[in-house]
Copies of this chain bind each other. A is one copy, B any other.
């Protein structure tokens, strides 16, 4: 299934959100990762100017957002609901990591099922009866002495993990290098090292030290850099100028 269709099967459900700004920030966070479907359960204020301002252009998410009285409506059609919770409570839901949650969500979506990520109120989180409608509890691994993520940041972490899972691993789809210069091959590198060694001789760098150790170190350094042909031409140019100076110096 194409990424777009999979993403449409996954919704973000925000329950009893107090601050409309957080709804806007959550919409933005979803949108950056390609998720459009938001369901709001009993938001304190919505629609609201602050939500729109903080959505920063993710208006399509806010405009499409459903508003519901109860969680049960927000979850309509879903076969899998994952509740986000910072706290370990007396609810005996399985507790899973965001990565595991993303993986399960995607597996369900790939079967054509609808999936919900459920986020509670900013201060109180999800109530036990809300968690009871979920199939597992996702805990973002925050530190014990400061465990409370901002709502939209929890949304961002989940949306990010889902996006990475959708993309099929953690490789960004782009080519690593922007330019198309061919990498230098072994023979070109060898000619460069010869030129470098000759230049070091010409500028009288060795001064009695063993040239082999130095050349070995320089080789290691430039091998690590994995140069392309253009870079190699540039370095040859520099070496040639240093040699030219050495020749002039000797004429004196």
Residue A99 at the chain B interface, CB threshold 8 Å: yes
A-side interface size class: 35 or more
Interface string of A149-177 (1 = CB under 8 A from B): 11011001100100110010011111011
Interfacial chain B residues near A96, Cβ < 8 Å:
172, 176
Residues of A within 8 A of B (CB): 25, 28-29, 31-34, 56-58, 88-92, 94-100, 139-143, 146-150, 152-153, 156-157, 160, 163-164, 167, 170-174, 176-179, 200, 202-205, 214, 217-218, 221-222, 224-227, 230-231, 234, 237-238, 241-242, 244-246, 248-249, 251-252
Interfacial chain B residues near A140, Cβ < 8 Å:
32, 160
In the complex formed, the residue of B with least CB distance to A89 is B178
Interfacial chain B residues near A147, Cβ < 8 Å:
32
With A141-B172, A157-B160, A225-B224 in contact, do A241 and B99 touch (Cβ < 8 Å)?
no
- Give me 21 A-to-B residue pairs in the complex whose CB atoms sit less than 8 angstroms apart, sorted by A's number: A29-B153, A32-B153, A33-B142, A58-B146, A91-B178, A92-B179, A95-B172, A95-B176, A97-B171, A139-B172, A139-B174, A140-B160, A141-B164, A141-B172, A153-B156, A157-B157, A217-B234, A222-B225, A225-B225, A242-B242, A242-B245
